[in-house]
Amino acid sequence: MAKIGVQAMMLKQQVAERGAYDVWKQLSEIGFSVVEVSQIELDDKNRDDIARAGDEFGMSVAAISAGMGETGGGGNDSLRESFDKIVSDCQTLGSSRVRIGMLPMPSLASKEALIAFAHDAGEMARRLADHGIILSYHNHHVEFARMDGQHILDLIRAEAPDLKFELDVHWIHRGGMDPVTVLKKYAGVVDLVHLKDYRIGLPPADAFEALAAGDRKVWAEHWGNLVQFAEVGQGNLDFAGVVEAGVDGGAEYLLIEQDQQYGRDIFDCLTDSREHLIKLGYADLL
């Protein structure tokens, strides 16, 4: 059965201050039992803390994160440079999944560069498969730009058929696509889903002050940045449709994520997201 959990990227500061064990303990107390690890260095201490929390609180690791560049990006290890360590980390943490959070930016410079990335990622997927590990690629909005008439995500799929997808519904929507439609399109390919709502905020008070003062530049900056990352259920996305399409499409884990919290406590945000999913009828997935 698919499970709903938490993407830990948004908890990296708390981990740095308190340690992974204590953060995982608080997640368990809220009611979560699955965590995806990203932008948290898997050094000896963090790895041991996560493993200990897993044993004591029944917390499992949905996936760990890696990059394809020379340094991995975001504090994650690079599959090019640290392949053996990544495999070892998966084995230590009892996870059978690795996810690439973003392609290297130079891969967007041309179709040839993109195809080269896809081929490299596909090769890594095959190498990891030899160790019983699934590799997935996580999208943002840029994957719905077109190269020679094709969406970048479609090109990656065509050139890397051994690569699974981690589909992020906020970024799909920001890319101009319907999340449920995209999830259904990639049924059988989607292995992980990010549950992240899409909210339109209102301009803050200083934007109206700038407008009244005739400062159109400051007003325009605020006006062009009204899109927000929201708690599940606090934005405009259809999460009943998202969860159903994700589960029906074969996703094993659906991870709550909220890149920014706009002054709110992250654990309060996670609690609200969890409660909304329970109201939708998904308590059995938590």
Distance CA 39, CA 146 (A): 29
Residues 206 and 251 in one domain: no
Select from 229, 246, 274 the last residue of a domain: 229
pLDDT at residue 75, rounded to an integer: 80
Residues 97 and 223 in one domain: no
For the chain, the straight-line distance linking the first and the last C-alpha, in angstroms and rounded, comes to 11
pLDDT at residue 70, rounded to an integer: 66
pLDDT at residue 73, rounded to an integer: 64
**Averaged pLDDT, 197-224:** 95
**Averaged pLDDT, 176-198:** 99
Residues 216 and 91 in one domain: no
pLDDT at residue 6, rounded to an integer: 99
pLDDT exceeds cutoff 60 at 200: yes
- Give how many domains the chain has, as a whole number: 2
- Whether the model clears a pTM of 0.95, i.e. scores above it, the answer is yes
Q: What is the mean pLDDT of the chain?
A: 97
* Residue percentage of the chain with pLDDT more than 70: 99
Instruction: Name the one residue in this structure whose structure tokens are 């949905």.
Output: 62
pLDDT in tens, 121-137: 999 999 999 999 999 99
pLDDT exceeds cutoff 60 at 55: yes
**Averaged pLDDT, 33-43:** 98
Residues 149 and 209 in one domain: no
Dihedral sign of CA atoms 29, 31, 34, 38 in order: negative
* Residue percentage of the chain with pLDDT more than 90: 98
Residues 141 and 205 in one domain: no
pLDDT at residue 69, rounded to an integer: 78
Instruction: Name the one residue in this structure whose structure tokens are 């204590």.
Output: 22
Residues 140 and 237 in one domain: yes
Distance CA 205, CA 219 (A): 10
Residues 224 and 134 in one domain: no
Residues 181 and 59 in one domain: yes
The model's confidence at residue 74, banded by pLDDT at 50, 70 and 90, is confident
Q: Do 68 and 117 contact (CB within 8 A), yes or no?
A: yes
Residues 94 and 145 in one domain: yes
pLDDT at residue 231, rounded to an integer: 99
Residues 206 and 190 in one domain: no
The model's confidence at residue 29, banded by pLDDT at 50, 70 and 90, is very high
Residues 188 and 237 in one domain: yes
pLDDT at residue 71, rounded to an integer: 63
Residue 133: phi and psi, rounded to 5, are -115, 135
Instruction: Retrieve residue 208's tokens.
Output: 């109206």
CATH number, position 170: 3.20.20.150
Residues 206 and 83 in one domain: no
Full domain range(s) for residue 144: 3-196+232-285
Cα angle, residue 269 at apex, residues 194 and 172 outer, rounded to 5°: 25
Cβ neighbors of 159 (< 8 A, separation 6 or more) are 115, 118, 119, 122
pLDDT in tens, 237-267: 999 999 999 999 999 999 999 999 999 999 9
Q: Do 148 and 164 contact (CB within 8 A), yes or no?
A: no
State the SS3 of the chain.
CCEEEEEHHHHHHHHHHHCHHHHHHHHHHHCCCEEECCCCCCCHHHHHHHHHHHHHHCCEEEEEEEECCCCCCCCCEECCCCHHHHHHHHHHHCCCEEEECCCCHHHHCCHHHHHHHHHHHHHHHHHHHCCCCEEEEECCCHHHCEECCEEHHHHHHHHCCCCEEEEEHHHHHHCCCCHHHHHHHCCCCEEEEEECEEEECCCCHHHHHHHHCCCHHHHHHHHCCCEEEECCCCCCCCHHHHHHHHHHCCCCEEEECCCCCCCCCHHHHHHHHHHHHHHCCCHHHC
**Averaged pLDDT, 96-112:** 97
pLDDT at residue 38, rounded to an integer: 98
**Averaged pLDDT, 155-170:** 99
Task: Please report, for residues 143, 156, 193, 235, 247, the alpha-carbon distance to residue 180 in angstroms, rounded to integers and kept in the order given.
Answer: 16, 20, 11, 15, 11
